[in-house]
Structure 1
Amino acid sequence: MALLDVFKRRRQAAGQEDEPTVTVAEDNVEMPSPSKDKLDGTIVDEETIKVQGETAAIEQESHDNPEIAALPLQVRQLINLTDDPTLPTITFRYFVLAALFVIPGAFLSQMSYFRTTKAPYSVFFVQIACHYAGHFLAKTLPAWNIRVPGTSWGFSLNPGPWSIKEHVLVTVTAASGATYNLGYAPIVLAELWYGERINPAVAIFFMLSIVWIGYAFAALARNILLPDPEYIWPQALMQTTLFETFRKTDTSSRLARRQMKVFFFALLGMTLWQFLPEYAFPFTSSLAFLCWVAPRNPVANFIGSGLGGMGFLNLSLDWSNINWNGSSIMLTPFWTQVLLFLAFAFNCWVLIPAAKWGNMGSFKHGLMSNSLMLANGTTYPTTEVLTPDYHLNQTAYEHYGPMYMGMQNVWATFFDYAKLPAAITWIATFGFSQVSANLKKIFESRKAAKAAKAAGNQTQDQGIHHAYHDRLNVIQRQYKEIPLWWYFLLFLAGFVILITCIACGYLFIPIWTLFVAVSSAAVFVIPFAWLYAISNYQLETGSFNELMYGYMVHTKAGEGHQHPCGPSVYGAIAGDAWYRAQYMLQDQKIGHYMHIPPREIFFSQIFGVCMGVPINYAVIRWIMDTKGDYITGKKTDPLNQWTGQSLRNSNTMGVQYAILGPKRLFAEAEMAPLPWSFLVGAAIPPILYIFHRFFPRLRIELWNVSIFFGGLAMFYGNVSTGYTSAIIGGYVVMYWAYRKHFEVWKRYNYLVAAAFDAGFNLNMLLIFFFFGAGKQISMPNWWGNNSESVERCFAL
C-alpha cells in the first residue's frame, strides 16, 4: 500500500481530500503487472515503475472512490483528474495565436476544395505548433498591463507561464475556424455555371448563418451526450491524450519526454514514408497479389486490383487508404471496424461480381462510375437539357434519353438513403434505455435544484454536471454553465439571416423549404451524435437532403424554384446543421476532459467561425476571379490542378434532383428500388431488437445496421484498396494490444495516432508546395510508377 499512500499524499497536496471509502463493482479488467510490463522491449526504469505504481493506485482508488469508478477505464487512466481553476484562459496570447493559426488554415482548407491535389490543414498541426508558439510568447512578450482609456477594463500582455488551458482554447478555435465552409458550393455554381453573382455580404452572412444554426443545434444533444462518462467521444479522447502529454512535458516528467520522442519519431517517419505511396513509389499504395501472379489475365486483374477492381487479397501501405476516417483504426472501437469491413466485403466481394458476372442488373453504363451516362455509356450532357430559366428541356431530354448511373452507385445510393431511418429507429430501440436514463437524471437534477432554490439552500449553479457524479463532472461544477438562451440567440440570428436572404430572392429556394431543412436536421442531431460518441463513426447525410429538396420543388408549392443551385443551398443548410453540431459537441467534450470553463469553450468556437468565414469567402472570390475558366472547363489547366471535382458533383445533383426530379429519376428500372430503401432502413432495427430480447447472448446490440448501411453507402468509385490492411491494423491495435498490453496501449496509442495523422497532413502539404503549387513536377515513370498501371494489373 506504500505506492497508494504516496499517490494519495500527492492528491492531498494538490488540494483534494480523501473521499469516504465506498465499495464499487468494477468491470473485470486485468491491469498489467508492473513486473510484467516492459516498455519498448527495454528494462523498466524507475520512472516507469513509478508511473505503473500510480496506475495501480488509480485502479485501487477506483474501488474506493465512486467518482473515479464512474469513469471508463481508458478515461481514468489517460485524463488528469485534478484541476487548477486559476490557470489563464482567454488572454492576449490566445487572440494572437488564434489569428496566427485560423487565417492560413481557413485559406488553405477552402482552397483545397477547388484543387485536384489537396493540402489538408490538420488540427494536430495546430495542437503541436501552438504548444511551442505559446511558450515562445510567454518568454518574449513584455509583462505590460494595458488599460483601455476611459474604462476600468484592462489586460496583461503576458500573464505568466503558458497555460495548458490557453493551448486547448487556441486549438478549439482553429478547429472551428480553420476549415472550409459548406456554403461555398451554391455561391460558386451560381456565378461560374449560371452567371448569377451573389452579393458578397449575402454570401458571407449565408456562410456564417449555416454554421451558427449548426452550433445552436448542439444544445439538442448536449445534455444527453456530453456529461455522461460512458460517451467517450474517441476523437476527443485522442486529442486530450496529446494535450496531457504536453502538460506532463512541462512538468519535466521523464515518461512524458519519452512519449514526446515517440511522437516526433512517428511524425517524422510517417511524413517521410508517405512520399513513397503518394509520389515516388505509388506501387506501395495498392499491393495486388493476384495481378503479380497473372498480370495479363483480365479476370485475375479485376478480382485483385484495388484501383478499378474488387480489391480481393489486396493490401495497401498508404496511410490515406488504410485510414478511411483519420486515425480511425487507432480510435474506432473494434466492433465498429468489423462492421465496416463486412460492409466493404459484401459491397466489393459479393455485389460487384454479382453485377459483373451474374444477372444483377447491367454494368454496361460503368459498373463503378460516379457519372451520369447516356444509353451508350458516355457522359450525359446535363447542361444541354436545361432551358434558359432552368427547367427541363423536354425536347432535348427526349433526344438524349434517360440518365443512367453505374450499378455500384445505384446500390450505394440505396443504402445511403436507408442508413438515415436506420439510425433513428436504432436509437429508438437499442439506445432508448440509455438515452431515457440520461434524460431522467437531467430532470431529477433540475427538480432537485428547484426544490433547493425554493428552500433557500441553493449555493451552486445547477447545470448539467450536477446530474452525474463522476470526478470530471464534479470538477466542472465550479464553472458557470452555458445558458440555453445563448444557443437560442445563435439560432435566431442564423435563421433570421437565412429568411431575409431567401425572401429577397438571393438563395434560389422557397422560404417554406427552410423550415423543412431545419426541422429535418433537428431530427438527426441526437441519433447521429449518439452514434458518433460511442463508435467514432460519422454518419453522413449523403444526397438525402438534395433528394428531399427535389421532391419538394416538384410539387405545386415548389414551382418556379427548380434552379440547379437550389439543392446545394438546401443541402448546405440541412447538412451543416448536423455536421457543425457534432463538431461543437466533440470540442466541448475536449473542454470537459481538460477542465475548461464551458462558456470559454463556447466563445472560442464562435470566435473561430467569425474569423474564418470571411477568409473562406476571400478565397472563393480570388479563385472565381483567377481560376474560374479552369474550374468550368472553358480553359484547360496546364497543371491539371484546378478541376473543382466536388463542384461538378454538386452541379450534377442539382440537375438530377431539381431539373429532372426524383419521379423521372426513379422511373428507370434500375432506379425503381431506391425509394424502398427508407422502409428497409426503418424496419430492420426493430426486427433485430426483437431478436436481441429473445437471444441476448448473440450480442445483436453490436450489429448496428446504420453503420453497416453507412459502409455499404461508401461509394468506392474504383478504389477498393486499404480496407483489408485497415482491419488487420485495427485488430492489432484495438483488440490485441488493448486487451493484452493495455499499459503500453494507453501510453502510446492515441499519441501515435495523432502523430500519424499530423505526419500524413504534413507530407501532403510538402508535396503540394514542392510539386504542385507552382510548376507541376511529375515523378518519372519506373517499375514502381508504371505509366500503364501502378499496380501492374496490365489486363484490367
Structure 2
Amino acid sequence: MTGSINNGFPQSNSPAETQSTGGEINDSPIEQVRLTVPITDDQTLPALTFRTWVLGVLSCILLSFINQFFRFRQNPVNIKAISVQLAILPVGKLMAAMLPEKTVTMPITGWSFSLNPGPFNMKEHVLITIFANVGSGGVYALHIVTILKIFYKKDIQPILAVLLTLSTQMLGYGWAGLFRKYLVDSPFMWWPVSLVQVSLFRALHETEKRVKGRLTRLQFFIIALGSCFAYSIIPAYFFPSLTALSFICWIWPKSITAHQIGGGVQGLGLLSFGLDWNVVSSFLDSPLAFPAYSIICSIVGAFLALYVVVPILYWSNAFEAKQFPIFSSRTFDESGNRYNVTRILDQKTFSFDQQAYDSYSKVYLSIIFAFSYGTSFAALAATLSHVILFNGRSIWRQMKSSIQNKSGDVHNRIMKNYNSVPQWWFYTIFVVVLPVAIFACEGFDGKLQLPYWGVLLAITLGLVFTLPIGVIKATTNQQPGLNVITELIIGYLYPGRPIANVAFKTYGYISMDQAVFFLSDLKLGHYMKIPPKSMFLVQMVGTLINNITTFGTAWWLLSTVDNICDVTKLPKGSPWTCPGDNVFYSASIIWGVVGPLRMFGKLGVYAKLNWFFLVGLISPVPVWLLSLKFPQHKWIKLIHMPLIFLNASSMPEAKAVNYWTWGVVGIFFNVYVYRRYRGWWARHNYVLSAALDAGVAFLVLLVYFTLQMNGMSGPDWWGAEEGDHCLLANCPTDPRIIVDGCPALS
C-alpha cells in the first residue's frame, strides 16, 4: 500500500511507518491510529482485578439507570462511558491506596484473588470503561414495552419483557466471533470512535512532561471539562432557548412559511444553530470523533434533503404534503389530524380491520418522514454495493490472511501474546439464547405476535448484514440500520400485526447492532492490549446488568409518571415526551397495522419511494468507476453514497439544528484545525471531545437531581422555553385543513 485515507484526506506514509515484511505492517496504515495508539504493551499489568469488578459493576448499573431515565425526555442526554472513564480514576487510585494487600480464597473452588494487586493501572481502567460502555447503550426492545403499555394500552408481563430485552441484546454476540478477523484484526478497520477513549486513557495514565508555554493533555482536559461544565448551566437551566436559535422565525413571527423554512426543531432549519454541546452530540455523537470525509458526506446528505428535495416535494404538493406539517414524526389521516390507530384495530384479535380502514382514512406522513423512508431504502442498498465495490478486495485479502495466519500490523502481533477467545464460546451463546427468543415470541399467549419462523428470518438478516455494516462503521464512525428493511419484509409477509412487526425489526436490527457494538469494544481492547477473555467476560456480565437495570428503570417510569409519552395530555413544558418512542409507535402503525402494501405498495400513497432501492444500489457505481479512471484523485473514493443517503434519512428524529451545529464544529476541528495545526490536533482533539461530553453530562445530572427534581425550575421568561419559538412550523399550508393554533389560510 502506497498511501492511506486519513481523516478524509489522502496522505503519504513514511517508509519507516508502513514498511511491510512478509505481509506484516510495522505500524498502523491509518495516520490517526499512528498518532494516537501506542505500540508497546506491559503484560505484567493485572486487568480483571477485584477493583475492576467492583467499580465496573457499579459503573454499569449507574449508567444504565441514568441513560434510560433520560431517554424518555424531549432532549435525551446520553451519558457516555467517557464520563465514567474520568470519574473512576480517583476512586481506583483511592482503593489502591486504602485496600489491604490481602488474598481472599473462595470456598470449595479454591480460587483466590488479591484485594489490592498494586497501583491502579490502565488495563483495569479500560475494563471498567467497557463495563460502563455496555451500560451506556440503550435496550432497543424497551420501545416495544413502552408502546404496548402506553400507546396500545395493553398489559405485558414483566418476565416476558425481560426475556425479550435479554434475547435481543445477546443474539448478535453469538456470531460476532465470525467477524473478528475482518473487523477487529484488520488494521484498515480502525474504528475512529475508539481513538477518543485511547487518547483519554493516555492523558490520564501516562506521565507527560509539560513543555514551557504548553499544557499537558491532562491539564488541557481538566480546563476544557471545567469550562464546559460552567457554561452548560446557561442552556440547561437559565436559557434553554440557546439549544435552537432560529432567527428567521423571529423576523417573521406570523408566517407559516418562514417558520417552516427557519425552524431548527420542526422546520428546515435555515440559518438555525444551537449554542449547547448537547445539541451537537445528543443525536449524532461528537463530531470530533468523525473523519472529515464522513462529516462532509453527512452534511451533503442533510443539505440535499432539507434544501433541495424536500422543498421541491412539499411546495409541489407531492403526496398531498401541504395537508400536513413539513417536519413531523407523526402519522396523519386525510383530514390532517393525528391518525387514530384504534379505529382500524380489531380490539379482540389486536389485528388490522380492513372494513374499518376503508371507512376511515389512508395513513399519511409529513414529507420529511416519507422522504426519510425512501432514503433509508437507498442507504441500505448502497451499503451492499459500496462494500462490495470498495472493500470486497480487502475483505478477500483479509480472509486469505486469516487462513494463512498472518499477523497483520504491530497491534495484531502484540495481541498474539494473549489467548484468544475460542469460537465455541460465541456459538454457545447463540445456541442458548435462540430458544429463549423463540419462547418469548411463541409463549405468553402470543403477546408478541411473532411466530418462530419470524425469529429465524430476522436473525438471518442480522447475520448477513453484520459484515457490510460493520465495515461502514469501522471506517466512517456511522452505521446504517436494518430497521426499515426488516419492517418492510415482515410487513409484506405477516401484515396487520403491529407488535409482530416491531418484534421482528428488533430481532433483526438489534442482533446486528449488538454484534457491531461488541466488535467495537473488542477493537478498543485490541488497541489497549487487554486479554481477550477478560474483555469477553466483562461484556457478557455487563450486558446482563444493563438489561436488568434499564428494564427496572423503564418499568418504574412507565408506572409512575402521569401521561408519560402522551404529548396531547402532558402539561406544557413537560420533558417526558419520549421522541424515540413516538417514532417507534408511528413505525408500528405504518409497517405493522396498515402494512407496506397499503403504504409503499400498489395500494398506498408512497409507492414511488420504492425506486430508492434501485437508486441506492447503483449510486456507488459511478463513484467507483471514476476512482478507477482517475486514481490520482484520491478524494473521489471519499464520496461515500451510503453516508449521504443515511444522513438524508436521519430526520425527523434528528433535527436540522442538530445537523448544522454538528457540521460546523466537525468541519472546524477535523478539516481546518487538522490541516493547519496538525500537532495540536494530534494531542488535544480527542481529549477535547471527551472533556465536552463529560462536562455536559455532569452538569445536566447535577441540575436535574439538585434543582429540577425538587421542582426548582429556572427563571420564567421568553428564553426559558426549550425549543426554537417556531410554533407555526407545525401548521399545514393547505387552506382546507384547519388546525387549532394555526392561522386560517385563504
Counterpart CA distance in 1 for 2:107 and 2:36 is: 46
CA RMSD of aligned residues (A): 3.1
Displacement, 1:285? 3.1
Worse overlay, 489-498 or 176-185: 176-185
Any residues of structure 2 matched to 1:47-62 within 5 Å, and which?
62=17
Worse overlay, 192-201 or 731-740: 192-201
Aligned to 2:140: 182
Question: Could you tell me whether the CA contact under 8 Å between 1:315 and 1:725 is conserved in 2?
Answer: yes
Aligned to 1:254: 210
Counterpart CA distance in 1 for 2:564 and 2:679 is: 53
Pick aligned residue for 1:81 from 10, 34, 39: 39
Q: What is the identity, as a one-letter code, of the residue corresponding to 1:590?
A: L
Worse overlay, 365-374 or 155-164: 365-374
Aligned to 1:428: 388
Counterpart CA distance in 1 for 2:137 and 2:461 is: 25
Distance 1:323 1:615, change over 3 A: closer
TM-score (norm 1): 0.83
Aligned to 1:8: none
Pick aligned residue for 2:624 from 689, 714, 719: 689
Question: Could you tell me whether the CA contact under 8 Å between 1:340 and 1:711 is conserved in 2?
Answer: yes
Question: Could you tell me whether the CA contact under 8 Å between 2:573 and 2:721 is conserved in 1?
Answer: no
Aligned to 1:514: 455
- Does residue 95 of structure 2 align to residue 137 of structure 1? yes
Pick aligned residue for 1:503 from 420, 432, 442: 442
Counterpart CA distance in 1 for 2:606 and 2:415 is: 52
Displacement, 1:247? 1.6
- Does residue 704 of structure 2 align to residue 768 of structure 1? yes
Displacement, 1:320? 3.0
Any residues of structure 2 matched to 1:357-756 within 5 Å, and which?
357-358=315-316, 360-361=318-319, 362-388=321-347, 389-445=349-405, 466-468=406-408, 470-504=409-443, 505-554=446-495, 562-627=496-561, 630-631=564-565, 636=570, 640-666=574-600, 667=602, 670-697=605-632, 699-716=635-652, 719-756=655-692
Aligned to 1:18: none
Distance 1:588 1:398, change over 3 A: same
Pick aligned residue for 2:61 from 94, 99, 103: 103
Displacement, 1:508? 1.9
Q: What is the identity, as a one-letter code, of the residue corresponding to 1:140?
A: M
Question: Could you tell me whether the CA contact under 8 Å between 2:245 and 2:724 is conserved in 1?
Answer: no
Displacement, 1:199? 3.8
Counterpart CA distance in 2 for 1:629 and 1:736 is: 47
Q: Secondary structure at the match of 1:146?
A: strand
Aligned to 1:463: none
Report the number of matched residues.
Answer: 714
TM-score (norm 2): 0.88
Distance 1:757 1:337, change over 3 A: same
Question: Could you tell me whether the CA contact under 8 Å between 2:264 and 2:724 is conserved in 1?
Answer: no
Q: Secondary structure at the match of 1:773?
A: helix
- Structure 1: gaps spanning 5 or more residues: 1-23, 30-57, 446-465, 555-561
Distance 1:788 1:278, change over 3 A: closer
Partner deviation per Cα, 1:47-78 (whole Å, 9 max, x = no partner): xxxxxxxxxxx979637786544442222232
Displacement, 1:307? 3.5
Counterpart CA distance in 2 for 1:425 and 1:115 is: 38
| Aligned residues with identical type, % of pairs | 26
Counterpart CA distance in 2 for 1:27 and 1:374 is: 52
Q: What is the identity, as a one-letter code, of the residue corresponding to 1:379?
A: R
Distance 1:628 1:765, change over 3 A: same
Q: What is the identity, as a one-letter code, of the residue corresponding to 1:213?
A: L
Displacement, 1:495? 0.7
Q: Secondary structure at the match of 2:352?
A: coil
Question: Could you tell me whether the CA contact under 8 Å between 1:119 and 1:768 is conserved in 2?
Answer: no
Aligned to 1:160: 118
Question: Could you tell me whether the CA contact under 8 Å between 1:289 and 1:313 is conserved in 2?
Answer: yes
Question: Could you tell me whether the CA contact under 8 Å between 1:187 and 1:197 is conserved in 2?
Answer: no
Partner deviation per Cα, 1:649-685 (whole Å, 9 max, x = no partner): 3333223322222112234664111223222222222
Counterpart CA distance in 2 for 1:426 and 1:131 is: 42
Distance 1:634 1:755, change over 3 A: closer
- Structure 2: gaps spanning 5 or more residues: 7-12, 732-746
Worse overlay, 538-547 or 154-163: 538-547
Counterpart CA distance in 1 for 2:510 and 2:326 is: 31
Q: Secondary structure at the match of 1:673?
A: helix
Q: Greater CA radius of gyration, 1 or 2?
A: 1
Pick aligned residue for 2:128 from 156, 170, 186: 170
Worse overlay, 397-406 or 529-538: 397-406
Q: Secondary structure at the match of 1:467?
A: coil
Worse overlay, 160-169 or 640-649: 640-649
Partner deviation per Cα, 1:400-441 (whole Å, 9 max, x = no partner): 211111111111110112211210111111211111111121
Displacement, 1:592? 0.8
Q: Secondary structure at the match of 2:593?
A: helix
Aligned to 1:229: 187
